[in-house]
Amino acid sequence: MEKHIYNEQTGISYTLQRDYYLPDLALPDEEKGVEIGIWGQRHLRYIKQHRKVLYLNLLTSGKLNGYLADIDKQAEDMFFRLVKQMAEREGVTEQLKADNQMEWVARMNNIHNRATEIVNTDLIYT
């Protein structure tokens, strides 16, 4: 028996594994070296659990890392923009930081938590 065969009608090659010919299947190459941050990892966990079809489609098409990197960048940009806007609107300035550090930390933590919640709701868990 031949070790490898090629079916010209389907364009698929097969390899002999014990008594069976199995198709030689491979996933498309995915982008390497793309860093996925915390936002992208959260979204990955969400789509694995709640949007399995989307996850499998992205995985098998080789577009998962690019998709997650894009979500991560969008979420990070949105988060920093929200923090800056909220801090300006609420008067959390460097002067407050110099005058009353504990008050500044408390208010900035509150702003960070609200911005995180907005990003999670609008981008990550949708």
112, HSE (Cβ side, Cα atoms, 13 Å): 6
Q: pLDDT tens-digit profile of 24-80? A: 887 667 666 778 999 999 999 999 999 999 999 999 888 999 999 999 999 999 999
The string of pLDDT tens digits covering residues 70-124 is: 999 999 999 999 999 999 999 999 999 999 999 999 999 999 999 999 999 999 9
Q: Determine the pLDDT at residue 28.
A: 67
The model's pLDDT over 9-18, given as tens digits with 9 standing for 90+, comes to 888 899 989 8
Neighbouring-strand partners of residue 17: 20
| Beta strand spans in the chain (E) | 4-7, 12-17, 20-23
d(CA 3, CA 58): 32
What pTM, to 2 d.p., does this model score? 0.77
Q: Domain boundaries in the chain? A: 36-124
Give the model's pLDDT for residue 11: 86
Torsion from C-alpha of 109, 43, 85, 99, nearest 10 degrees = 20
